[in-house]
Amino acid sequence: MPNYKVYVSDYDYSDLSIEKEVLEPIGAEVIGLQCKTGINLAEMAKDADAIIQQYAKISRETIEQLNKCKVIARYGIGVDILDVEAAYENGMIVTNVSDYCIDEVADHSISMAFTLIRSIPAYNKATHEGKWHWNDWNSPVHRMREMSFGLIGFGRIAQNIARKLLPFGFEILVYDPYVSESYMATFGVQKVTLEELLKRSHVVDVMCPYTPQTHHLINEEALEIMKNDAILINCARGKVVDNKALYKALKEGKIAAAGLDDTEEEPAKVDGWSPEMNPLFKLENCIITPHSAYISQSSLNEARRTAAENVKAVLLGQSPPNIVMPKKKANLQNA
């Protein structure tokens, strides 16, 4: 009989070999589920000692039914799909992979921006249709060192983006109410208000976490403020951008183009999803990738191994290296 049962709520990897390699030597049975929505997870994993979570939403109601569970380990950084407060109130520890995909998301975000700045999708479409002329662009192509690049949020990924952009000569504007002007200055970027960033930026890159305060942060009003030739990039959570408002702005030429790594409905979490559910997929000036900004083979392996090591530490009575504190407790510690 195994000493522990570790359930993986859902996963899109080909197998769970990495998780098993870490956990089976301590007597843990690793059981893979495909409960992407999180509905009925408590019934499926009622005897869990630990849960590793990918896309499944784990609510307070689910947590309160997991009587044996000691730890919920996220494969990624964000914990917006997990009720962290409820987990701690019910005697569980929450972990994440805090340094996960910092290079990958930065590189993906920059790649999307550069692809649209240089109008590559429009040129590619034109040449495939037999057109061969420089003015078959989506909008006039700017010289990069004459452009302003706006970052909404200035966490570790945005800081990495800023560092990589500076050699191209961009003026980098940043909106983040939680980061000081003096700290931003050490990265060679300028702290501005959100309104100023939207007005001045040729590229607006969303890099903030998803919270109730950032839900639809980029809405119709924000899009109205942006330049007509501006580009919107979102490699953060899909719901930070109001997709109906974005569709309208792109369709009416209020902004030039957009690059999204996830749409608002978050297809990975929707059973039976099809692109017909979101009209953005019909627009040629909106490029969309399947929530793949974090992907490299190295990052995937790292996330899986780190999540499993976090679980292993908790089950063995040790302190895991990547603890996520509930907000109340974190605020007290930082006071």
pLDDT of 335 reads 31
Give me the percent of the chain exceeding a pLDDT of 90: 87
**Number of folded domains in the chain?**
2
Are 39 and 65 in contact by the 8 Å Cβ rule? The answer is no
Q: Is 266 a catalytic residue?
A: yes
If asked whether residues 111 and 232 sit together in one domain, one would say: yes
If asked whether residues 323 and 203 sit together in one domain, one would say: no
Q: Which of 237, 264, 304, 309 is catalytic?
A: 237
What is the average pLDDT across 54-71? 96
CATH number at residue 138: 3.40.50.720
pLDDT of 296 reads 93
Instruction: Note the pLDDT tens digit of each residue in 5-55.
Output: 999 999 989 999 999 999 999 999 999 999 988 999 999 999 999 999 998
Give me the percent of the chain exceeding a pLDDT of 70: 97
If asked whether residues 136 and 279 sit together in one domain, one would say: yes
Most distant CA pair in the chain, distance: 69
pLDDT of 329 reads 52
Q: Which of 171, 266, 302, 305 is catalytic?
A: 266
pLDDT band for 78, please (50, 70, 90 cuts): confident
Per-residue three-class SS string for the chain: CCCEEEEECCCCCCCCHHHHHHHHHHCEEEEECCCCCCCCHHHHCCCCCEEEECCCCECHHHHCCCCCCCEEEECCCCCCCECHHHHHHCCCEEECCCCCCHHHHHHHHHHHHHHHHCCHHHHHHHHHCCCCCCCCCCCCCCCHHHCEEEEECCCHHHHHHHHHHHHHCCEEEEECCCCCHHHHHCCCCEECCHHHHHHHCCEEEECCCCCCCCCCCECHHHHHHCCCCCEEEECCCHHHECHHHHHHHHHCCCCCEEEECCCCCCHHHCCCCCHHHCHHHHCCCEEECCCCCCCCHHHHHHHHHHHHHHHHHHHCCCCCCCEECCHHHHHHHHC
pLDDT higher than threshold 70 for residue 321: yes
What φ, ψ does residue 121 adopt, rounded to 5°?
-60, -40
pLDDT higher than threshold 90 for residue 77: no
pLDDT of 312 reads 98
User: What is the distance between the alpha carbons of residues 160 and 205, in angstroms, rounded to a whole number?
Assistant: 13
pLDDT band for 331, please (50, 70, 90 cuts): very low
If asked whether residues 147 and 192 sit together in one domain, one would say: yes
pLDDT band for 140, please (50, 70, 90 cuts): confident
Q: Which of 74, 200, 202, 291 is catalytic?
A: 291
pLDDT higher than threshold 70 for residue 80: yes
If asked whether residues 254 and 136 sit together in one domain, one would say: yes
If asked whether residues 139 and 282 sit together in one domain, one would say: yes
Instruction: Note the pLDDT tens digit of each residue in 210-267.
Output: 999 999 999 999 999 999 999 999 999 999 999 999 999 999 999 999 999 999 999 9
Instruction: Note the pLDDT tens digit of each residue in 165-182.
Output: 999 999 999 999 999 999
If asked whether residues 194 and 114 sit together in one domain, one would say: yes
What φ, ψ does residue 179 adopt, rounded to 5°?
-120, 135
If asked whether residues 194 and 226 sit together in one domain, one would say: yes
Instruction: Note the pLDDT tens digit of each residue in 147-169.
Output: 999 999 999 999 999 999 999 99
If asked whether residues 29 and 107 sit together in one domain, one would say: no
If asked whether residues 194 and 76 sit together in one domain, one would say: no
pLDDT band for 291, please (50, 70, 90 cuts): very high
User: What is the distance between the alpha carbons of residues 120 and 192, in angstroms, rounded to a whole number?
Assistant: 30
Neighbours of 37 (CB within 10 A): 14
If asked whether residues 158 and 211 sit together in one domain, one would say: yes
If asked whether residues 140 and 94 sit together in one domain, one would say: no
- The domain containing residue 50 runs over which residues? 4-100+297-331
